[in-house]
Amino acid sequence: MGLSLGELATIAGAELRGDPDRVIERVETLQDATAGAISFLANPQYRKFLAETAASAVIVAPGDVAHCHIDCLVSDNPYLAHARVTTALYPDRAVTAGVHPGAVVDSTAQVHPTAEVAANAYVGERAVIGEGVFVGPGCVVLEDCEIGSGSRLVAMATLGPRTRLGQRCLIHPGAVIGGDGFGLANDAGAWVKVPQIGRAWLGDDVEVGSCSSIDRGAIGNTVIDDGVKIDSQVHVAHNVTIGRHTAMAGCAGIAGSTHIGAYCTVAGGVGITGHVELADHVHVSGATAVTRSIKKPGVYTGTVPAMEHASWLKNFARLRHLDDMVRRLRQLEKEMATLRESTNKGT
Amino acid sequence: MGLSLGELATIAGAELRGDPDRVIERVETLQDATAGAISFLANPQYRKFLAETAASAVIVAPGDVAHCHIDCLVSDNPYLAHARVTTALYPDRAVTAGVHPGAVVDSTAQVHPTAEVAANAYVGERAVIGEGVFVGPGCVVLEDCEIGSGSRLVAMATLGPRTRLGQRCLIHPGAVIGGDGFGLANDAGAWVKVPQIGRAWLGDDVEVGSCSSIDRGAIGNTVIDDGVKIDSQVHVAHNVTIGRHTAMAGCAGIAGSTHIGAYCTVAGGVGITGHVELADHVHVSGATAVTRSIKKPGVYTGTVPAMEHASWLKNFARLRHLDDMVRRLRQLEKEMATLRESTNKGT
Amino acid sequence: MGLSLGELATIAGAELRGDPDRVIERVETLQDATAGAISFLANPQYRKFLAETAASAVIVAPGDVAHCHIDCLVSDNPYLAHARVTTALYPDRAVTAGVHPGAVVDSTAQVHPTAEVAANAYVGERAVIGEGVFVGPGCVVLEDCEIGSGSRLVAMATLGPRTRLGQRCLIHPGAVIGGDGFGLANDAGAWVKVPQIGRAWLGDDVEVGSCSSIDRGAIGNTVIDDGVKIDSQVHVAHNVTIGRHTAMAGCAGIAGSTHIGAYCTVAGGVGITGHVELADHVHVSGATAVTRSIKKPGVYTGTVPAMEHASWLKNFARLRHLDDMVRRLRQLEKEMATLRESTNKGT
């Protein structure tokens, strides 16, 4: 296919400098682009590729227009314009209404006539599959799930009992939404399972990456609000709530009953303990452990930076003597004060 | 359905204060409960909801009975009583004996006539599926597995070759039990795979959460003893052994050939290195790295707490100078001692 | 089956001391071995089992030959010889050419006549499955994938659109290769998805463990070079490149656009930030966070060792006062210098 630069400018909400009829067929990076491609410049470290690019057009910020020798779309947010252009040029795989003969749909499930249930997928008792939904190959949708219109389960995703997806959710392969939370009562040393009778409740436009787990609630629900984006290999435990438009990167883990605000970012490998609250607009840096509530917006960090092993060996052995160091420091300060005093007296 | 308070008291091993014939239909939280529901009070921070709850009954500790205006079940361990009541009111999905026509069972496998193999599941060569076992939708059970009676694979779980599950195990979606361990020999820089010929051997009443991996042994077995409970997104590497009734929370990872004792707890995000031993009754705090054996029961921690980024910036840069700080401290102490001595002499 | 010691010596590239016609049927550990088994001694801590082993033969280094009372294969690298012997004695499950009637293969896909597509697997539009490839039970291979000859998807693995596997790759259950990368543009607080139009491109002899995610590139490719070995529960984000023969252990996570060199090792639980470079021959210790590029080969560590909780409590509280400690130390040093000077003057 392909779209004209004029169409793309409208889609991107960008100003066109150049030929509105030029046809663009692909998106490529500045450095690798070929004729027919559109590229973008969002990160200044790639500005060096602008002069030599073979792209047919480029998306740039106003300040970079002067350096463009090719047609450009001018946007205050070139990366956002790039997202819109790419979405237009690479539409999702079309949904082919109907149930594949190799899929199994329980007789009590309701599948909207415009939805697709692909090969080897399973849809359980009383599940309700909305308009235009795509249940990809090998997916399992267990009993009493609800999937809102336009949502897509790419492939091999699992929805546990009673899971609710809003509209336009996107669930990647290997993700498990609504699996059991980890609820255990102790009986003289042995663990007794607490059945998890809540749900995983996802709002609209939520994305969940490959092999991530969103566990369902123990009694109430685990709630992932509209527009939340979750990367691969993330764990969200039972009864967590995550506010609108928060994003969580790979390998993050959130323990049970923690509440994360809206517009937060949780970087890769972060761990957040259970039963705490993070305010809106909190940003947690990579590989940080959050051990208590954070009530103030801002950036929070606990990352321990890697160093050469020899340096680590001698420095980190000191960690278990920090308290002792403080005591010694205090003792020295006291003695110094005494000395100072006696010296002053002496003079 | 629903059960009478009298029946629930018996099930919970609790003392009933109130009407034994009152019918209870659901479990709800104190704050959200409605008529027909039973609630519980285990955590003192929820005591404030007791006076106003609309629940029909509540499970409480003896000390809270005086504050109850409704029927109650009195138990020394209200959370455990809650687990039992919830299990009674929310029984597992019944097992419907037989193999779904959309499942594939190898002709050499033995499926007990009371077991269920659900839609799109696969059972491989010589696998033995016990009494009342549920192999859920989309599961894969590879060759030579044994699944003990009453075990349930909820959906989309995989058992690698020769995996053994005891009785009443519960395996959640996306879990992989008995995948290859990570065994590599080095041949002048290149890695040569060491075939993993051991098994993953799970005892009775083991639970494994969604998307967790329990790798099979290199030669001997990976052994998960009776009653061990494993959360979502956990990695247990080859030849690890985990003792009875140990619980491991989300995102924990245990490297190869490590032995963890019985009655331990391993919190979220913990990493334990390979070839070490943890005694019984060891408790590792969240986001802690265990780098050597722990021979004494107790709580062990290495969590680095998050702080405001500006504070982190100035403090953590010092980590690579800790050793230097100790040296300077020592030097000062020496000089101070000299001064003290000369001052003493001087007086 | 079984192989003679003579055959195994050839396979292992080892020198035989003993009866070339002795038949070996199994591999067992020194301590548990029985007649008919071959064992190996690579780790000196197991040397104590050599004298008493009931194995029929053992693989040893030249220095241990004198202590052997049984037939032995002598190799400078006994663990590598063990890998080769085990591979010979425990061949992979044979590939049975053809598509299982319970599998679904799109009419536009090309499956080599010698390849096997097992029960409940799915192969999508235009996918190309090479010679002798095994697509195991429950696997999903999406549109436009290419799988090189001799590669094996054990079971329940997913290949996202356009994924490319080289020859002899081995993909374990639950792994997702070529799922969407995590690309988001921000539109006044809300996230807008950036379609991920690149591929996951894997070279020859790559192994990916259970439940690991290798995300596909945003525009260019995520590239995993020949001989790279990846354990279970690992996350490789979009546009990462990993050089030849690098190995990554469980629960490691690599953020987007990072480049890791060849012959590196990344231990368990390591996190590496995005947009950095690691040179060849870099070794990162377990549970370490790499926050910037590493240009020199060597070992890098940031592991914080667990300690008894009481010790942690008093020592780690000091972390947020490190900078203050340095200032106080400096102040003391200044005062000490002044004192020293005045004392010197005084004498």
Q: Contact, C95 vs C115, CB < 8 A?
A: yes
DSSP string, C205-274: T-EE-TT-EEEPPSSS-EEE-TT-EE-TT-EE-TT-EE-TT-EE-TT-EE-TT-EE-TT-EE-TT-EE-T
Q: pLDDT band for A21, please (50, 70, 90 cuts).
A: very high
**Is the pLDDT confidence value at B36 over 60?**
yes
Q: pLDDT band for C121, please (50, 70, 90 cuts).
A: very high
Nearest CB to A29 within list C190, C219, C314: C219
CA distances from C117 to A41, B123, B124, C146 (A): 44, 15, 14, 14
CB contact under 8 Å between A93 and C143, yes or no, is yes
Instruction: For B95-128, write each residue's pLDDT tens digit.
Output: 999 999 999 999 999 999 999 999 999 999 999 9
Contacting chains of A (3 CB pairs or more, <8 Å) are B, C
Spell out which residues of chain B touch residue A183, defining contact as CB-CB under 8 Å. 83
Provide the pLDDT for residue A346.
60
Provide the pLDDT for residue C317.
93
| Distance of alpha carbon C152 from alpha carbon C165, whole angstroms | 10
| Distance of alpha carbon A135 from alpha carbon A155, whole angstroms | 7
Nearest CB to C332 within list A120, A156, A333: A333
Long-range contact set of residues C261-266: C-beta below 8 Å, sequence gap at least 24: C262/C225, C263/B189
Q: What percent of chain A has pLDDT over 90?
A: 95
Provide the pLDDT for residue A340.
83
CB contact under 8 Å between B305 and A289, yes or no, is yes
Active site residue C238: yes
For residue B241, give the nearest of B220, B254, B224, B255 by alpha carbon.
B224
CA distances from B14 to A192, B29, B60 (A): 16, 19, 9
Provide the pLDDT for residue B45.
87
A251 touches C at CB < 8 Å: yes
**Is the pLDDT confidence value at A228 over 60?**
yes
| Mean pLDDT for the stretch of residues A142-156 | 98
Nearest CB to B86 within list A156, A191, A195: A195
A345 touches C at CB < 8 Å: no
Backbone CA torsion sign across B180, B182, B188, B190: positive
| Distance of alpha carbon B83 from alpha carbon B103, whole angstroms | 34
Helix orientation angle between A322-346 and C322-346, rounded to the nearest 10 degrees? 30
Instruction: For A88-140, write each residue's pLDDT tens digit.
Output: 999 998 999 999 999 999 999 999 999 999 999 999 999 999 999 999 999 99
Q: How far is A6 from chain C (nearest CA, A)?
A: 21
| Distance of alpha carbon B196 from alpha carbon C268, whole angstroms | 19
Q: Which of A210-214, B42-46, B343-347, C297-301 has the lowest mean pLDDT?
A: B343-347
**Is the pLDDT confidence value at B344 over 80?**
no
- For residue B207, the chain A residue with the least C-alpha distance is A193
CB contact under 8 Å between A321 and C315, yes or no, is yes
A286 touches B at CB < 8 Å: no
CB-defined contacts A:B, below 8 A = 238
| Mean pLDDT for the stretch of residues A197-201 | 98
Q: How far is B74 from chain A (nearest CA, A)?
A: 16
| Distance of alpha carbon C84 from alpha carbon C76, whole angstroms | 14
CB contact under 8 Å between B180 and C119, yes or no, is no
From the number of C-beta atoms within 10 Å of its C-beta (0-12, 13-18, 19+), residue C224 rates as buried
Spell out which residues of chain B touch residue C269, defining contact as CB-CB under 8 Å. 253, 271, 289
Interface of B with A in 168-197 (CB under 8 A): 170, 172-174
Instruction: For C48-74, write each residue's pLDDT tens digit.
Output: 999 999 999 999 999 999 999 999 999
**Is the pLDDT confidence value at A33 over 90?**
yes
Q: How far is B28 from chain A (nearest CA, A)?
A: 6
Nearest CB to B213 within list C93, C210, C308: C210
Provide the pLDDT for residue C342.
81
Provide the pLDDT for residue C247.
98
Helix orientation angle between B78-89 and B5-12, rounded to the nearest 10 degrees? 120
Q: How far is C140 from chain B (nearest CA, A)?
A: 12
Average pLDDT score over chain B: 96
The amino acid at A119: A
| Mean pLDDT for the stretch of residues A222-234 | 98
- Report ipTM for this prediction: 0.96
B308 touches A at CB < 8 Å: yes
| Mean pLDDT for the stretch of residues B251-271 | 98
CA torsion, points C311, C315, C317, C323, in degrees to nearest 10?
180
CB contact under 8 Å between A194 and B155, yes or no, is no
Nearest CB to C255 within list A86, A250, A305: A250
| Mean pLDDT for the stretch of residues A169-183 | 98
Nearest CB to B290 within list C245, C306, C326: C306
Catalytic pick from C69, C235, C238, C259? C238
Helix orientation angle between B322-346 and C322-346, rounded to the nearest 10 degrees? 30
A104 touches B at CB < 8 Å: yes
Instruction: For B178-204, write each residue's pLDDT tens digit.
Output: 999 999 999 999 999 999 999 999 999
B27 touches A at CB < 8 Å: yes
Q: How many CB atoms lie within 10 A of CB C67?
A: 13
Q: pLDDT band for C251, please (50, 70, 90 cuts).
A: very high
Interface of C with B in 33-72 (CB under 8 A): none
For residue C59, give the nearest of B185, A264, B337, B171 by alpha carbon.
B185
Spell out which residues of chain A touch residue C186, defining contact as CB-CB under 8 Å. 77, 79-80
Give residues with Cβ within 8 angstroms of B115, minimum separation 6: B95, B97, B129, B130, B131, B132, B133, B134, B135
Class of domain B3-89 as given by CATH: alpha beta
DSSP string, B186-224: EETTEEEE------EEE-TT-EE-TT-EEEPPSSS-EEE
Provide the pLDDT for residue A216.
98
Instruction: For A158-171, write each residue's pLDDT tens digit.
Output: 999 999 999 999 99
| Mean pLDDT for the stretch of residues B279-288 | 98
CB contact under 8 Å between C285 and A232, yes or no, is no
Architecture of domain C157-300: 3 Solenoid (2.160)
Q: How far is B185 from chain A (nearest CA, A)?
A: 24
For residue A8, give the nearest of A63, A68, A89, A80 by alpha carbon.
A89
Instruction: For B145-172, write each residue's pLDDT tens digit.
Output: 999 999 999 999 999 999 999 999 999 9
CB contact under 8 Å between B325 and C323, yes or no, is no
Nearest CB to A255 within list B118, B263, B268: B268
Instruction: For C190-221, write each residue's pLDDT tens digit.
Output: 999 999 999 999 999 999 999 999 999 999 99
Instruction: For B210-242, write each residue's pLDDT tens digit.
Output: 999 999 999 999 999 999 999 999 999 999 999
Provide the pLDDT for residue C327.
95
Q: Is the pTM of this model over 0.90?
A: yes
| Mean pLDDT for the stretch of residues A22-43 | 96
| Distance of alpha carbon C270 from alpha carbon C275, whole angstroms | 16
Spell out which residues of chain A touch residue C142, defining contact as CB-CB under 8 Å. 137, 154-155
SS3 label, residue A24: strand
Instruction: For C302-319, write each residue's pLDDT tens digit.
Output: 999 999 999 999 999 999
Structure tokens at B175: 């879990």
Catalytic pick from A69, A100, A238, A321? A238
Contacting chains of C (3 CB pairs or more, <8 Å) are A, B
Q: pLDDT band for C339, please (50, 70, 90 cuts).
A: confident
| Mean pLDDT for the stretch of residues B334-347 | 80
Q: Which residue has the tokens 């749909």?
A: A105
CB contact under 8 Å between A192 and B80, yes or no, is yes
Provide the pLDDT for residue C346.
60
Contacting chains of B (3 CB pairs or more, <8 Å) are A, C
B297 touches A at CB < 8 Å: no
Q: What percent of chain B has pLDDT over 70?
A: 99
Q: How far is C126 from chain A (nearest CA, A)?
A: 14
| Distance of alpha carbon C78 from alpha carbon B194, whole angstroms | 12
**Is the pLDDT confidence value at C105 over 80?**
yes
B83 touches C at CB < 8 Å: no
Spell out which residues of chain A touch residue C158, defining contact as CB-CB under 8 Å. 138, 155-156, 173-174, 210
Helix orientation angle between B322-346 and A322-346, rounded to the nearest 10 degrees? 30
